[in-house]
Amino acid sequence: MTGDHLIGSFLEMMSAERGAAKNTIDAYRRDLTDYAGFVKAQKQTLLTAPRETVTAYLDDLRSQGLSASSSARRLSAIRQFHRFLCADNLRGDDPTRIVSSPKSRRALPKVLSIAEVDKLLTTAEAEANAAGSPQKQAAALRLYLLLELLYATGMRVSELVSLKRSAVMRDASFITIIGKGNKERVVPVNDRARDAIRVYLKTLEPGAYLFPATGAEGYLSRQVFARDLKGLAGRAGISSARVAPHVLRHAFASHLLGGGADLRVVQMLLGHADISTTQIYTHVLDEKLRSLVEQHHPLSDSAK
């Protein structure tokens, strides 16, 4: 089989068996085609290229000025591709098995304090309860519910705006979220969010989505929510540059960990496939451990 055929078979598997999105498939195709071109230039094939070729490819990417994070993404695609070749008995060894991923310092996520999130929620709730035109009040109530659900569950913004109405029709303490790759996860919903859902549903016309819109997708766009959220932040006295939907997701995770939640529980709630993604929040745990040591160590000043 040619390199193109091998890559095509891998991409078909990713789409059919793992439900990879089109953008993901396109990214894998670009990365693997580039890798295949490098392998061919070494007068090798994808079925014979050794570990040294993989490391040489990464060195070549670095010499081109590609960032460590981008190189790591390409290695991830190459690693999954070679695992596929081994699983299908197309080659007997995996040349990426002991290749280290390029390291880069991940930026800490922007996080709002608990007091700032409370200020956002309080302002949104007050606006939802304020007198005004039916259209204005409906928009304020929608924004309040979006904010309550986002901070209560830590959903991705794409998961939030596309929620089906059926997901919240029952007065339950949990809702089922359809995440990446159509994977389902069940997350708890607090009393405040459930109360907001009840009020909101009374104003909603029949339809499939919880946050319907007239666009092609049939539900509220992420951009509209982000715009409305920044406007709310300004009215709450918080810099709009610090507030975005993903910042509330980060706050959800950080505040849970700061309150003592287990990292793997937070991983499950966020819908991360790999705990290494969730570990970006361990700065919260590091700070908590430092405080515990300072407070309880027998030689620390605070313990005396």
Q: Tell which residue, 81, 71, 73, has the closest CA to residue 12.
A: 81
At a CB cut-off of 8 Å and minimum separation 6, what does 33 contact? Answer: 7
Q: Are the C-beta atoms of 239 and 233 separated by less than 8 Å?
A: yes
> Is position 246 annotated as part of the catalytic site?
yes
Tell me how crowded residue 111 is: count the other CB atoms within 10 A of its CB. Answer: 22
Q: Are the C-beta atoms of 149 and 248 separated by less than 8 Å?
A: no
Q: Tell which residue, 168, 172, 156, has the closest CA to residue 208.
A: 168
* Amino acid identity, position 40: K
In the chain, the DSSP E strands lie at 174-178, 184-188
d(CA 293, CA 284): 14
d(CA 268, CA 157): 17
- Catalytically annotated residue among 74, 142, 249, 250: 249
> Is position 180 annotated as part of the catalytic site?
yes
Q: Are the C-beta atoms of 77 and 58 separated by less than 8 Å?
A: no
> Is position 62 annotated as part of the catalytic site?
no
d(CA 184, CA 280): 23
- Catalytically annotated residue among 74, 82, 142, 156: 156
Partners of 177 in the β-ladder: 185
> Is position 51 annotated as part of the catalytic site?
no
- Catalytically annotated residue among 180, 222, 230, 288: 180
Q: How far is CA 205 from CA 160, 161, 209, 211, in A?
A: 19, 16, 10, 10
At a CB cut-off of 8 Å and minimum separation 6, what does 185 contact? Answer: 176, 177, 179, 268, 269, 271
- Catalytically annotated residue among 246, 250, 255, 297: 246
- Catalytic annotation, residues: 156, 180, 246, 249, 272, 281
